[in-house]
Amino acid sequence: MIPTLLRRGGRLSIAAALLTVSVLACAKGNIVILATGGTIAGSGASSANSASYQSAKVAVDQLIAAVPELQNVASVRGEQVFQIGSESFNNERLLQLGKRVSALLKQNDVDGVVITHGTDTLEETAYFLNLVIPSTKPVVVVGSMRPGTAMSADGKLNLYNAVSLAVSPDARGKGVLVSMNDEIHTARDVAKSVNIKTEAFRSPWGPLGLVVEGKNYWFRAPVKRHTTASEFNIDRIEKLASVEVVYGYGNMNEQAYRAYVGNGAAAIIHAGTGNGSVASQIVPVLQELRGKGVQIIRSSRVTGGGFVLRNAEQPDDKYDWIVAHDFNPQKARILAAVAMTRTSDSKELQRIFWEY
């Protein structure tokens, strides 16, 4: 632009030229990439290693430098928050990351945040942020299924799409998003459904849209409460409630439930078969634990669309149990851990599961 103006005979001072450059840079928007490790920061022994590799090896500056096209869509800078495999994302790390995201989004010079994350628990971190970050600015969580050293590595394009999405005005107000494999998903719905293919992340109700060559194509919008419509705020949360998941099956026994409660669990997510079903020998155990004040939340272990109806498989009203609606067990745990920082009333908790 500046050389064109000079060629046309206009007199452009050095100060004006610098101002023009500054305006153009600001027009692109400012995105902060928070790196936490995972496969997208992984490295394999050879280019043939797409499934066997060491995660969390590449620093955020290297990730950014590997995709120079990022500078065409946004002014990008990075921070290394963690360098871990996402299977090690505990409650304390969730809170630390959430508070950093919240602080960044309050800055006038930050238009959005991208979080690079391991895929094992990406859906849980994304949903946690969706519940507690009170901002309309885009937050996009991204990972990869193959390390950057592999043939047909997916991380570079995923990162490019995530930054392009985060800087887009049309991504504002849609809650926390997950960008993987050219698709845009809401953090509420998306789940990892396979651990080998690049199309690993799916939503039971479908993606929100697509990112194609830096352009967003939207097909639906989230309707459940999130971010600025949420009653939860990361700035007021210092500790998450202790919530544990027990996997249900026909031959199970009561030991896991009692052990978790003995170690301080305030709620148990029962990952039941089908409609959150509970084996007959476990029903009295859960009744007993509820009588002692432990919240019992029935979820479904069904892959890709478990949906638990209240009073349809168990008399939830009678037992004062909660149903997890369409949340898988791991997301039900996140919602319960956040919700129980505000209430221990089972009716209020059930309302929260319906609304979020």
Average pLDDT value for residue range 284-300: 98
Listed residues 229, 264, 297: the one ending a domain: 229
Proportion of the chain above pLDDT 90, given as a percent: 84
Average pLDDT value for residue range 297-322: 95
19 vs 163: which has the higher pLDDT: 163
Among 214-218, 282-286, 297-301, 302-306, the minimum mean pLDDT is found in 302-306
Nearest to 241 by CA among 95, 109, 139: 95
Domain co-membership, 40 together with 186 = yes
What's the whole-number average pLDDT of the chain?
92
So what's the pLDDT on residue 277?
97
Domain co-membership, 190 together with 259 = no
pLDDT in tens, 21-67: 444 444 799 999 999 999 999 887 767 776 667 777 899 999 999 99
Domain co-membership, 208 together with 338 = no
Domain co-membership, 179 together with 308 = no
Domain co-membership, 188 together with 303 = no
Domain co-membership, 75 together with 157 = yes
State the residue range of the domain holding 259.
241-355
CATH number of the domain where residue 123 is located: 3.40.50.1170
pLDDT in tens, 138-178: 999 999 999 888 778 999 999 999 999 999 999 999 999 99
pLDDT at 254 over 80: yes
The answer to the question of residue 350 being in a domain is yes
Q: What angle do CA 211, 55, 81 make, to 5 degrees?
A: 75
So what's the pLDDT on residue 52?
60
**Do the Cβ atoms of 142 and 158 come closer than 8 Å?**
yes
Among the listed residues 39, 121, 149, 198, the single catalytic one is 39
pLDDT in tens, 209-245: 999 999 999 999 999 999 999 999 999 999 999 999 9
E strands, the chain, in order: 30-37, 75-84, 112-116, 139-142, 177-180, 183-186, 191-192, 201-202, 209-212, 215-218, 243-247, 267-272, 295-300, 322-323
So what's the pLDDT on residue 50?
63
Listed residues 229, 249, 265: the one ending a domain: 229
Alpha helix segments (H runs only) across 211-276 = 255-262
Domain count, the chain: 2
Q: How confident is the model at residue 285 (pLDDT cuts 50, 70, 90)?
A: very high
Q: How confident is the model at residue 15 (pLDDT cuts 50, 70, 90)?
A: very low
Distances (CA, A) of 261 to 22, 44, 67, 256: 58, 41, 48, 9
Among the listed residues 36, 116, 119, 149, the single catalytic one is 119
pTM of the model: 0.90
So what's the pLDDT on residue 148?
84
Q: How confident is the model at residue 355 (pLDDT cuts 50, 70, 90)?
A: very high
Let me know if 39 is a catalytic residue: yes
Domain co-membership, 197 together with 283 = no
Domain co-membership, 135 together with 177 = yes
Domain co-membership, 197 together with 60 = yes
So what's the pLDDT on residue 152?
84
pLDDT in tens, 74-117: 999 999 999 999 999 999 999 999 999 999 999 999 999 999 99
